[in-house]
Amino acid sequence: MKLAQALILRADSLKRFRQLKERLFSAVKVQEGDEQPESPQELIKELEVVAKEFTGLVKKINITNYAVKFENGKTISEALAERDVLKLRRQMYEELIEKTKLELNRYSRSEVKFVVTVNVPKIYRMIETLSKEHRELDSKLQQFNWMTDLIE
């Protein structure tokens, strides 16, 4: 199995787990005299099977990400960490830009006036650069995932 396939199965397992949880929560209590829509005991059994499958996939994915070299001697895990930090940095700069937007709430000349203390165009360029780096790294990782065998 390829790493990309395992990632898809992991996402599906997580989605199925959440759906089963919602079904279970709906089945644990019914109005007196009504029948249960589903058996909570059966849903719990199914939920435990899905949880075990999910755990197995996560372990194999993590082992693969840690063991397989991606590029420049880095593991997939290291590349994923770098991608995540690129995203965090980009989000921070986007939030910083939002904070520079001045609200016009002055009612008289004696009120406090605020000025922007950062170079907004430079920050926009940083956002563009970080976005591009994130996109490129993410694309490389996705392509690599389809070529990488999952470590069983």
pTM for this one?
A: 0.81
34: phi then psi, degrees, rounded to nearest 5? -90, 160
Query: 56-104 pLDDT, tens per residue?
Result: 999 999 999 999 999 999 999 999 999 999 999 999 999 999 998 876 6
Residue 148 in contact with residue 67, Cβ under 8 Å?
Answer: no
DSSP at 39? -
DSSP at 75? B
Q: What is the mean pLDDT of the chain?
A: 93
pLDDT above 80: residue 126? yes
The whole-angstrom distance between residue 73's C-alpha and the CA centroid of its chain comes to: 25
pLDDT of residue 89: 98
pLDDT of residue 108: 62
